[in-house]
Structure 1
Amino acid sequence: MAEIRTNKSTLNRGITVPSLIFIVVTSFLAALFPEQTGAVLDQIKHFIFVNLNWVYVWSVTIFVFFMFYLILSKYGNIKLGNNDSKPQHSYFSWISMLFAAGMGIGLMYFSVAEPMQHYSNPIFADLDPISRAKNAQLYTFFHWGIHAWAIYGIVGLSLSYFTYRYKLPLSLRSCFYPLLKERIHGVWGNVIDIFALCSTVFGITTTLGFGVVQINSGLVNMNIFPDTSFSYQIIIVAVLVAASILSAVTGVSKGIKILSGINIVAVIFLLIFVIAVGPTTLLIGSFTEGLGNYISSFIELTFNTHSYKTDELPWFYDWTILYWAWWISWAPYVGLFIAKISQGRTIRGFVAAVLIIPTMFNFIWMTVFGNSAMWADRTIADGTLSSIAGNPDVLMFRFLEYLPLSGITSFLVIFIIIIFFVTSADSGILVMDSIATKNSSKSSKLQIALWGVLLAIISLVLLNAGGLDALQSMTLITALPFSVIMILFIVSLVKALRIDYKYYDRDFSATTDLWSSDTWEDKLNQIVTFKNRSAIDNFINTTVKMAFEEMKAVLSKYEITSQINTYQKPNRIELEIHYDVLNNFIYGVRTESRNLPDYFLNEENLPDANSDKSFYPLSYFGDNRQGYSVLYFTKNELITDVLKHYERYLKLTSEEKNVMFISRNRHLKKLQKVKQKLKN
């Protein structure tokens, strides 16, 4: 029985069944009718990119500036977890894992290809070679820099916060809790998670498919495989997915963590080698200049839509908008994985690390490989690399042929791509299982393995049928609605952070300042007894009124004229001291109410309430400062509180620097005098 219980599926049917139906139908349409499906989806994608590209531009801009705001805001010290929680992983392991999941194969696929394609693009042909190289580096930085990681950061931060701070499931639905409350556990929550699961499967499948093609090309280039036929791709997928499944079932702290660490070391070794044997001085100088160019052009790049240069619009759609859509489509998967490994970090530490560290590494990597390739193309390759810029599958290996030890470095590149493949797939498998099970920690190894098998089958079917492009278009189309969802994440996160900050920053009520132990039983009785409107009205008409009348009588002895004002709706009373030039001093108390939540009313060990509203007497002041409940004050304590505010008033009015705040009546007096003169 124990064994049966252990192997029981933890899948949530409301999420898994609709998701699998949509995934299978879409994949087989792309496989059976690749040209027709691709054409339809490409038309939809083209329409979105041309007519709704501003949605991507503004969304990504909002993401970037919101992340900067969080670094500088008062919310930066809030922990992603309990206030005393500690990070689960070392800083190096954490950075290695989020980097491997966030960029992975893309770094190997585009590090030479993208700069070379910008460098050789006909729309920049009027520039000289050096200017084209600078331009290529700038746009590569732009596409792989802060904007990309801000997209991942929004999802990762939102998930981390609501999972570890609010104790909600590690699921996209949890990010809507401040907006939807308990409805996240119903149909709306399922719809959100279905979207996330489908987006994750499509994004990982297409990326892994392209990764398989590049690995195959590299093995052919090294004469290990004779060609790039489908039979060899089956072998690659079978071996790598098996390794991914093995890594996934061992968990984040073992397989993924170890592989990410190995990979980052291999990447750094390859990077140092290219710097050493390549144009070292050029690379160091171009990185410095490129970083400065990126910083100085940051705002212009962010808001540039190329509207005034119509010849650049196709390039803008095919690069910048496609990248924003691609990063957004990957955000559910990468964000979920980043959240899974980020418990215990502060918001400021999370955002700063996610934005800056991977971005700087990307810049170094793209500078070294991209600028080395452009340098080689200008000096020793005689334009050969430019001529094959449109074939990124082999471009990296062709570039390495112009450097020493090309056989060893090509093998190292394949090794790195394989590790990236495995770390992307195994983290994706865990994320898919997490979404489908609403973050269950009891999934069997067989169930986790089945997600890997699903990825392998879909990848192979689409590779054989040529349907990867169609699935990629589908993935990019889903980025449009998800960009709107991410905006709602920000709204929800801001609402939650404000509540969070006020909760932990809130001090004891001002009412408690004057308490003594002599009347503690009376105070306890007042605390646990909820008042209705008539009880509060009675408190105002007796205790508060007697306190004000006693004060008025004593003030008259000092020749200070005051009056007591009473009002009916809402019931309120105030003590007012009139002045000629200064603003009048006012201390008032009025009846207010607040709604009591259902969980509070139903909790047996909380004070009983007779209705869903609780009434209390709220103080208010002539200068519109925030008041507080005076319910627990005795008459003498209330008088003492009025005196505290009166002493503050006199101190402020005696300082000339406060004239704009305490002498508004002065302007009214002057205006009245002018009107009187005009009448006369």
Structure 2
Amino acid sequence: MKNLTVTYKISVVMALIFVIWGALFPEQLGEMMGIAQAFFLSAFGWFYNLAATFFLIFSLILIFSKYGKIRLGKDTDKPDFNRATWFAMLFSAGMGIGLLFYGVSEPVSHYAAPPTGEGSTEASALLALRYTYLHWGFHAWAIYAVVALALAYFKFRKGAPGLMSATLHPIFGDRVNGPLGYTVDIIAVFATIFGVCASLGLGAQQINAGLGYLIGVPVNFTVQLIIISIITVLFILSASTGIKRGIKYLSNTNMILATLLLIAMVILGPTLFLLNLFTHTLGEYIQNLPQMGLRIFPFDEQRAAWTQGWTIFYWAWWISWSPFVGMFIARVSRGRTIREFTIAVLVVPTLVCAFWFCVFGGTGINLDLLHGIDVAGQSLETGLFFVYEHLPLGGFLSVVTVLLITTFFITSADSATFVLGMQTTEGDMDPSNFIKISWGLILSASAIVLMASGGLQALQTAIIVSAFPLTIVLLIMSIGILKVFKTEVKGFKRTRKEG
């Protein structure tokens, strides 16, 4: 206990205060969350839109710049993991539970209630997939790429601690080793907690919905509390085995199950329709990317509310997840060049996510629009299982899905405990089991009190609020990255001339 860092002590005390507040006064917490959400969405939606677009442009510049040959590590370092395992880890930590929770429900929701035009039409079906690709595509992975790149560069090439504050050294110098640095790291800790809590809440809700579909388990908060409690024990056990055992094996298992589920959906669903739909909507997404990424509807309150509830919420979610996912991606990306790393993190997951949403969401839209089956009338957590009811082997697909959500749940929480451990132990790449277990318990407790105080809306609010100061940190980080890259390239040129 004597070796606990300042960041750990302050973060744990603040987190416990939040958990106790939520446990004792859930209604009060819910009201406060509602007020905060309305304020940040209306006052700073433009800020989140511009920031997300900036990170995408910044990533593209890095790919085509002279900095692309710089290695994330020493010049002789080789990658720790092969590409297949690396990709599996990216997906498992990055968006696992969300792909299943929103796979059917988000495209179908946009199809029924699009940001523009009339709902439940062919035009709204195409628009629905374009916006789903927007929310889970290049912008999201660009945010992850920038943060992971900075962390990996400073950790493996410069020997700095694996902390968010360390990436600001080019701007603030040694001041990051004092109160300024502690503040930045604590902001990252709470953004991580709330970002991961959202996924844990979604996972518990959908596991509950799946069990309700399969064996008639009631869908309510009590059951979800039991689910979170059981899985907390499982992911803490996984976390105690270390990154090269628990997370690695679970990530590979997730990738296999997710791939099999995707293939099954392509075969059992309207295959030709889905392939044509993906080709068409992918082109429209790329063509309309700048406009969709910046659209905010200043003259239309109803459409502005849609953008705030979906697009801006997603930008805040990905930003809040970025310390968690960024640190994890950085940890498994030693030895990659900046160009290889950025292309892989930006392009490959975007294409796979787009195809995933087209297959699952497109199947739901096909059933609703062309066959008159009311998929759009289902809740977010039950939409996927409702679609399964109308496909061959629906019961088997439901069992696989519940299993996959569970393993994604464990992997995300397992990865989060590792990252929170790093953040609060001055960048220790192997935090103690005590640190990881304490953060695992705090994560679960935070998810429970947020769900009790307002469900999904409370989870969303925590994300939006915590992401605001972190966005400012990430923008400063980007400036620092460019500054240090310029210095390094000048060093290369000077060395060549002297040689």
Same fold by TM (over 0.5)?
A: yes
- In 2, the alpha carbon distance for the partners of 1:9 and 1:133 equals 58
Please list, as runs of the form range in 1=range in 2, the aligned pairs for 1:521-540 lying within 5 A after superposition: none
Matched, 1:63 2:51: no
Equivalent position SS for 2:375: helix
Q: CA deviation at 1:203?
A: 1.8
Q: Where does residue 283 of structure 2 map in the other structure? A: 292
Give yes or no for the alignment of 1:387 onto 2:390: no
Summarize the alignment of residues 615-626 of structure 1 with structure 2, pairs less than 5 Å apart.
Answer: none
CA contact (8 A) 1:337 1:431 kept: yes
Cross-structure match for 2:4: 11
- Aligned match of 1:673: none
Aligned residue number for residue 432 of structure 2: 444
Q: Does residue 45 of structure 1 match 2:37? A: yes
Q: 1:402 aligns with which of 380, 383, 390?
A: 390
Partner of 2:348: 357
2:22–2:449: 8 Å Cα contact kept in structure 1?
no
Give me the CA root mean square deviation: 2.0
Distance, in Å, in 1 between the alignment partners of 2:3 and 2:99 is: 35
- Give the Cα separation in 2 of the matches to 1:357 and 1:11: 39
Q: Which residue of 212, 216, 227 maps to 1:220?
A: 212
1:341 positional shift: 1.0
Distance 2:305 2:39 in 1: 12
Structure 1 residue corresponding to 2:337, chosen from 335, 340, 346? 346
| CA deviations over 1:259-297 (Å, ceiling 9, x no partner) | 111111111111111111111111000111111111111
Distance between the aligned counterparts of 1:334 and 1:105, measured in 2? 14
Which amino acid is 2:445 matched to? I
Contact 2:191/2:470, CA 8 A, preserved across alignment: no
Q: Which residue of 2 aligns with 1:33?
A: 25
CA contact (8 A) 1:10 1:437 kept: no
Query: Pairwise mapping of residues 646-665 of structure 1 onto structure 2 (< 5 A)?
Result: none
The one of 234, 237, 242 aligned to 2:228? 237
CA contact (8 A) 1:234 1:460 kept: yes
Larger Rg: 1
Alignment of 1:445-484 (within 5 A): 445-464=433-452, 466=454, 469-484=457-472
Is 1:491 aligned with 2:479? yes
Compute the displacement of 1:485 (Å): 1.1
Is the CA contact (8 Å cut-off) linking 2:68 and 2:338 kept in structure 1? yes
How many residues align structurally? 499
Note closer, same or farther for the CA distance 1:209–1:310 as it changes in structure 2 (3 Å cut).
closer
Match of 1:209 among 181, 201, 206: 201
Residue identity matched to 1:118: H
Residue 74 of structure 1 corresponds to 66
* Structure 1 length-normalised TM: 0.71
Q: Distance in 2 between matches of 1:65 and 1:31?
A: 42
Structure 1 CA distance for aligned equivalents of residues 164 and 471 of structure 2? 13
CA contact (8 A) 1:31 1:466 kept: no
C-alpha distance in structure 1 between counterparts of 2:206 and 2:334, whole Å: 35
Mapped to 2, the partners of 1:42 and 1:106 lie a distance apart of: 23
Q: What corresponds to 1:419 in structure 2?
A: 407
The residue that corresponds to 1:316 in the other structure is 307
Distance 1:209-1:303 versus aligned 2 partners, 3 A rule = closer
Greater mean alpha carbon deviation, residues 102-111 or residues 197-206: 197-206
- 1:397-439 CA deviation, whole Å, 9 max, x = no partner? 1111010111100001101101110110000010011111112
Partner of 1:91: 83
Letter in 2 for 1:99: F
| Deviation of 1:383 (Å) | 4.4
Instruction: Quote the residue 1:177 is aligned against.
Output: 169
| 1:227-276: CA deviation from partner (whole Å, max 9, x where unpaired) | 13455334322331222112212111111111111111111111111111
Return closer, same or farther for 1:507/1:404 CA change in 2, 3 Å cut-off: same
Do the aligned partners of residues 125 and 384 (structure 1) sit closer, same or farther apart at CA in structure 2, a change above 3 Å counting? farther
Q: Return the letter of the residue paired with 2:426.
A: K
Deviates more, 1:442-451 or 1:160-169: 442-451
Distance (whole Å) between structure 1 residues aligned to residue 115 and residue 178 of structure 2: 51
Residue of structure 1 aligned with 2:243, choices 234, 241, 252? 252
Alpha carbons 1:30, 1:467 under 8 Å: kept: no
The CA distance in 1 between the partners of 2:114 and 2:419, in whole Å, is 41
Given residue 475 of structure 2, which amino acid in structure 1 is its aligned partner?
I
Unaligned 5+ runs, structure 1 = 1-7, 513-680
**Deviation at residue 441 of structure 1 after TM alignment:** 4.3
**How far off its partner does 1:329 sit?**
1.2
| Secondary structure class of the residue paired with 1:392 | coil
- State the shift of 1:310 in Å: 4.5
What is the Cα deviation at residue 334 of structure 1?
1.0
Instruction: Identify the residue that residue 524 of structure 1 maps to in structure 2.
Output: none
Deviation at 1:469, TM superposition (A): 3.5
Aligned-partner Cα distance in 2 for 1:303–1:266:
35
| Paired residues for 1:573-652 under 5 Å | none
Deviation for aligned residue 1:447: 3.3
Q: Which amino acid aligns with 2:377?
A: S
Q: Which amino acid aligns with 1:154?
A: V
The offset of 1:393, in angstroms, is 1.3
Give the unaligned 5+ runs of structure 2. Answer: none
Instruction: Classify 1:9/1:318 alpha carbon distance in 2 versus 1 (closer, same or farther; 3 Å).
Output: same
Greater RCO (CA < 8 Å, at least 6 residues apart): 2
Which letter maps to 1:479?
Answer: A
Which of the residues 277, 297, 310 maps onto 1:306? 297
Distance 2:234 2:365 in 1: 36
Greater percentage in strand: 1
Aligned to 1:393, the other structure's residue is in SS state coil
1:615 equivalent in structure 2: none
Q: Distance in 2 between matches of 1:504 and 1:125?
A: 54
Change (3 A) 1:369 1:509: closer
After superposition, the Cα gap between the structure-2 partners of 1:114 and 1:242, relative to the gap in structure 1 and judged at 3 Å, is same
Describe the shift of the 1:275–1:27 C-alpha distance in structure 2 as closer, same or farther (beyond 3 A).
same
Separation in 2 of the partners of 1:250 and 1:171? 22
Counterpart CA distance in 1 for 2:115 and 2:325 is: 34
Q: Give the alignment of 1:195-206 within 5 angstroms.
A: 195-206=187-198
Q: CA deviation at 1:471?
A: 4.5
**Contact (CA 8 Å) 1:105, 1:417: kept in 2 or not?**
yes
Work out the CA distance in 2 between the residues paired with 1:247 and 1:85: 28
Task: For 1:373 and 1:509, locate their aligned partners in 2 and report how far apart those are by CA, in whole Å.
Answer: 62
Q: How far apart are residue 333 of structure 1 and its match?
A: 1.1
Question: Whose helix proportion is higher, 1 or 2?
Answer: 2
Alpha-carbon contact 1:9-1:444 (below 8 Å) kept: no
Q: Is the 8 A contact 2:113 2:119 kept in 1?
A: no
Say if 2:144 is the partner of 1:156. Answer: no
Relative to structure 1, is the Cα distance of residues 498 and 285 closer, same or farther in structure 2, using a 3 angstrom cutoff? Answer: same
**Sequence identity of aligned pairs in percent?**
36
What whole-Å deviation, never above 9, does each CA across 1:35-84 have from its counterpart, x for those lacking one? 33222332222222222211111111110011000000000000001011
Letter matched to residue 450 of structure 1? S
Quote the Cα distance in structure 1 between the aligned partners of 2:497 and 2:409. 56
Inter-partner Cα distance in structure 1 for 2:496 and 2:337: 26
**Residue 335 (structure 1) shift:** 0.9
State the distance in 1 between where 2:461 and 2:285 align.
29
Normalised by the size of structure 2, how large is the TM-score?
Answer: 0.95
The alignment partner of 1:385 has SS state of coil
Partner of 2:240: helix, strand, or coil?
Answer: helix
- Contact kept, 8 Å, 1:245 with 1:426, in 2: the verdict is yes
Which of 131, 150, 174 is 1:139 aligned to? 131
